[in-house]
Amino acid sequence: MSHREDAIGGLRLAFLLGNPVSHSLSPLIHNAAFKALGIAAEYQAVDVRRTELPEAIERLRVGRVLGANVTIPHKETAVELVDDLTSDAAATHAVNTILVSEPGRLIGANTDVEGFSQPLKAYVDALRGGSAVILGAGGAARAAAFALLGGMGPRRLTVVARRRDQAAKLIEDLGSEDINNVLDRASFDDAAPAVRASQLIVNATPVGMAPKEDTSPWPTISDFHEGQVVYDLIYAPTTTRLMRDAESCGAHTIGGMPMLLAQAAASFKLWTGREMPLGAVRKALLGTF
């Protein structure tokens, strides 16, 4: 029996490694999926401090482990702690999923790239060749920038950050993907022309997240207009102030919940080889919001 078949046959574990993890919906999502498919596996969230990450990842090599998700603040450090990287993880310099590909061997993947791209599919033809802005320059912004360079082929892609060095590092790290030299950076103070001229605006900051639901990463409503898509990666609340502001100006909006489900489904498929039963997962999530 192969490791993968054995993994589906007996009780296996999958973990979320991050800090903090208590608010995470991932245990609910993955455990609902395991249950719906009759897979004898359990997903557990584990609070892991920075100094504990190497040992936590080492422990995945032994025992009945399918893999793990890695979240804030460990996605970049995890790159150095696995044996191999998928192309998405290598390009973004970030790992959000670890797969135990055979006993003891750890592959680092980044399913945030697939998760980000999936909800945009309906818009991508209309957006192709247009300009885009990403607010924020952290891990999610990296996944978004990589996905957009490959999928949207933007004329210009501006990364808006409050720390210039963070945006500069993102642009440097994604340099080999930026074959048309479209990556650009701006501060929040000088990004208004780019926001107004963009067909796609992505919020990859936590601004607007519960409990501070009345805040917005881009409070200037007059910069939004018809023909724009405003994609907020925040999933709690499911509709943010940014989305409401943009909708009031005629823009299309996408929230973070579809990305959350799509990145989870991609991780689940890596671990089990099965499609995530999204109906059962959505039902389990219903009580949460």
* Residue 237 sits in the site that holds ligand NAP (CB under 6 A): no
Among 140, 148, 174, 243, contact with ligand NAP (rule: CB under 6 A): 140
From 20-28, 121-129, 178-186, 233-241, span contacting ligand NAP (CB under 6 A): 233-241
Among 66, 195, 209, 281, contact with ligand NAP (rule: CB under 6 A): 209
* Residue 100 sits in the site that holds ligand NAP (CB under 6 A): no
- Phi/psi at 152 (nearest 5 deg)? -100, -25
The pairing of strands 12-18 and 65-70 is parallel
Give the nearer residue to ligand NAP in terms of CB position, either 14 or 137. Answer: 137
* Residue 139 sits in the site that holds ligand NAP (CB under 6 A): yes
Among 95, 134, 207, 242, contact with ligand NAP (rule: CB under 6 A): 207
287, 268, 288: which is closest to 36 by C-alpha? 268
Give the nearer residue to ligand NAP in terms of CB position, either 189 or 226. Answer: 189
Distance CA 161, CA 176 (A): 21
Distance CA 41, CA 31 (A): 8
Among 34, 146, 231, 235, contact with ligand NAP (rule: CB under 6 A): 235
For residue 140, the one-letter residue type is A
Strands (E), 144-195: 156-160, 183-186
- Compute the least distance from the CB of residue 62 to ligand NAP, in Å: 29
Q: Report the 10 Å Cβ neighbour count for 211.
A: 7
Give the nearer residue to ligand NAP in terms of CB position, either 235 or 271. Answer: 235
Q: Which residues contact 73 (CB under 8 A, 6 or more apart)?
A: 18, 19, 50
Among 86, 97, 198, 205, contact with ligand NAP (rule: CB under 6 A): 205
Please calculate the CA angle 277-26-210 and round it to the nearest 5 degrees. Answer: 120
- Compute the least distance from the CB of residue 167 to ligand NAP, in Å: 8
| Cα distance between the two ends of the chain | 41
Binding stretches for ligand NAP (CB under 6 A) = 72, 112, 115, 136-141, 161-163, 166, 204-207, 209, 233-235, 256, 259-260, 263
